[in-house]
Amino acid sequence: MKTIIGFLQLILCLALALFGPAWTVDFWQAWLYLFIFIAASALITYYLWRNDRGLLERRIKAGPAAETNKKQQIIQAFASCAFIAILLVPSLDHRFAWSHVPLALIIAGDLLVAIGFYCVYRVFKVNTFTAATIEVAATQRVVTTGPMLSSDILCIREPW
């Protein structure tokens, strides 16, 4: 239930950041981005709910308040502000018509968002310890394989 409430809060915050400054819901680019974000997040959440509830629980504890180290709290706060700015700037741009972005660039950007979510999904499949906060668990292991790593490319050798 906490996951669903958190997900709904995230969607509401995204929608407010995208449509509030634009002062309109007549903003198809924002609707497309919101759809991709929601669909990808929902698919990943469903996958984790079915296959790795421990990781899902660790992913829910996120943001500056979830960090125990003051430096990490500051970094998380800046990252949160940057994410919000990424949503506010296009919204304001839409409202005040600061620029004209070609359709191909909009589609390319949305494809990159979808590819980014796919990469996150692949990482979650391989590494159950990709929590939203920095921590070390007693049962944690070093992951040497995965979607972005190859022991042949990195020349990882066993020390023994």
Question: How do the pLDDT tens digits run along the chain, 160 residues long?
Answer: 777 888 899 899 999 999 999 999 999 999 999 999 999 999 999 999 999 998 888 887 776 777 778 888 888 889 889 999 999 999 999 999 999 999 999 999 999 999 999 999 998 888 887 877 666 777 777 776 666 554 444 444 444 4
160 in a structural domain: no
Q: Residue 129: which domain range? A: 2-154
**Prediction pTM value:** 0.81
Instruction: Name every residue whose Cβ is closer than 8 Å to that of residue 74 and which is 6 or more positions away in sequence.
Output: 64
d(CA 52, CA 45) in angstroms, rounded, equals: 10
Domain presence at residue 42: yes
With respect to residue 159, please indicate whether it lies within any of the assigned structural domains. no
Is 49 inside a domain boundary?
yes
